[in-house]
């Protein structure tokens, strides 16, 4: 099953400095049919105005992955971590027993991010944060693990859950196949471009909920950038 979730039909709110779209129930947006997808709980598509951001706030017991689509985001937390993550790169925060952090767009341009929350396998572990560059050329024509709790994904940022976050870039007409497994859940979003997943069309920033398939093939109608979460059901 592949269910298209058009960007225009997502929930969300425009706060002026932040225009947020939600693939799943979040904050003031609630849809009982969209409380998550497997271990994936949140996928927010955030547009952040220059010189603004999220002031210090707390999280616990959640794996939070930030994929920067445009601009850059600057993180600071109460553990002493501080870092700037640029477009195409990824940061991971394992909230564990509790962490307090801020995220600001200190750039002179708009920053656009995907923020992805995945439920961890355990609770109360020590919190941590990390970031890493992932050159888009390295994922040209294929899915590459960006953050993962699965064995074998040694080059990915570690997360504490039975899931992985992957990225791919495809040229127009190019295809990539991903072996998901019928006992897994996949959720794919086009960061840019237009694609088809086994014939189901997706425009830029659309989502696709995928289940009960051994594998699927993504074919680009135009140059495209993709982000995929593969998680336990």
pLDDT at 84: 98
| Structure token digits, residue 118 | 């995945």
| Helix-strand-coil split of the chain, %, nearest 5 | 5, 55, 40
* Range 217-230 average pLDDT: 98
Element (H, E) at 13: strand 11-14
pLDDT at 136: 87
* Range 138-163 average pLDDT: 97
How confident is the model over 58-82, as pLDDT tens digits?
999 999 999 999 999 999 999 999 9
Q: Which residue has the tokens 């996949």?
A: 186
Q: In DSSP terms, which residues pair with 83 in a beta bridge? A: 75
pLDDT at 224: 98
pLDDT at 71: 98
How confident is the model over 126-141, as pLDDT tens digits?
999 999 999 888 999 9
pLDDT at 51: 98
The residues near 9 (Cβ < 8 Å, ≥ 6 apart) are: none
Indicate whether 107 pLDDT > 90: yes
pLDDT at 117: 98
Per-residue DSSP letters for 158-177?
Answer: E-SSSEEEEEEEE-TT-EEE
pLDDT at 218: 98
Sign of torsion over alpha carbons 146, 202, 28, 35 = negative
* Range 159-172 average pLDDT: 98
* Range 96-102 average pLDDT: 98
| Structure token digits, residue 172 | 């127009």
Can you tell me the distance from the alpha carbon of 137 to that of 70, in angstroms, rounded to the nearest whole number? 16
Can you tell me the distance from the alpha carbon of 23 to that of 196, in angstroms, rounded to the nearest whole number? 19
C-beta separation of 113 from 66 below 8 A: yes
225: buried, middle or exposed (CB in 10 Å: 19+, 13-18, 0-12)? buried
pLDDT at 81: 97
How confident is the model over 193-211, as pLDDT tens digits?
999 999 999 999 999 999 9
* Range 5-34 average pLDDT: 96
* Range 82-107 average pLDDT: 97
| Structure token digits, residue 48 | 């952040």
pTM for this entry:
0.97
């Amino acid at each position: 099953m592949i269910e298209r979730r058009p960007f225009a039909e997502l929930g969300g709110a425009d706060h002026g400095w932040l225009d947020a779209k939600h693939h799943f129930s979040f904050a003031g947006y609630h849809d009982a049919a969209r409380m998550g997808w497997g271990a994936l709980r949140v996928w927010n598509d955030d547009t952040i105005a220059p010189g603004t951001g999220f002031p210090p706030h707390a999280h616990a017991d959640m794996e939070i992955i930030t994929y920067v689509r445009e601009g850059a985001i600057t993180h600071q937390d109460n553990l002493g971590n501080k870092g700037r993550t640029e477009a195409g790169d990824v940061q991971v925060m394992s909230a564990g027993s509790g962490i307090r952090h801020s995220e600001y767009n200190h750039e002179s341009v708009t920053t656009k991010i995907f923020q992805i929350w995945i439920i961890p396998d355990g609770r109360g572990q020590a919190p941590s944060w990390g970031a890493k560059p992932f050159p888009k050329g390295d994922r040209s024509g294929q899915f590459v693990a960006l953050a993962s709790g699965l064995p074998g994904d040694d080059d990915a940022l570690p997360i504490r859950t039975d899931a992985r976050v992957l990225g791919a870039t495809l040229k127009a007409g190019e295809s990539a196949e991903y072996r998901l497994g019928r006992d897994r859940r996949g959720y794919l979003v086009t960061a840019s471009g237009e694609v088809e997943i086994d014939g189901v069309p997706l425009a830029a920033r659309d989502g696709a909920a995928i289940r009960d398939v051994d594998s699927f093939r993504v074919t680009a109608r135009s140059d495209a950038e993709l982000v995929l979460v593969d998680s336990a059901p």
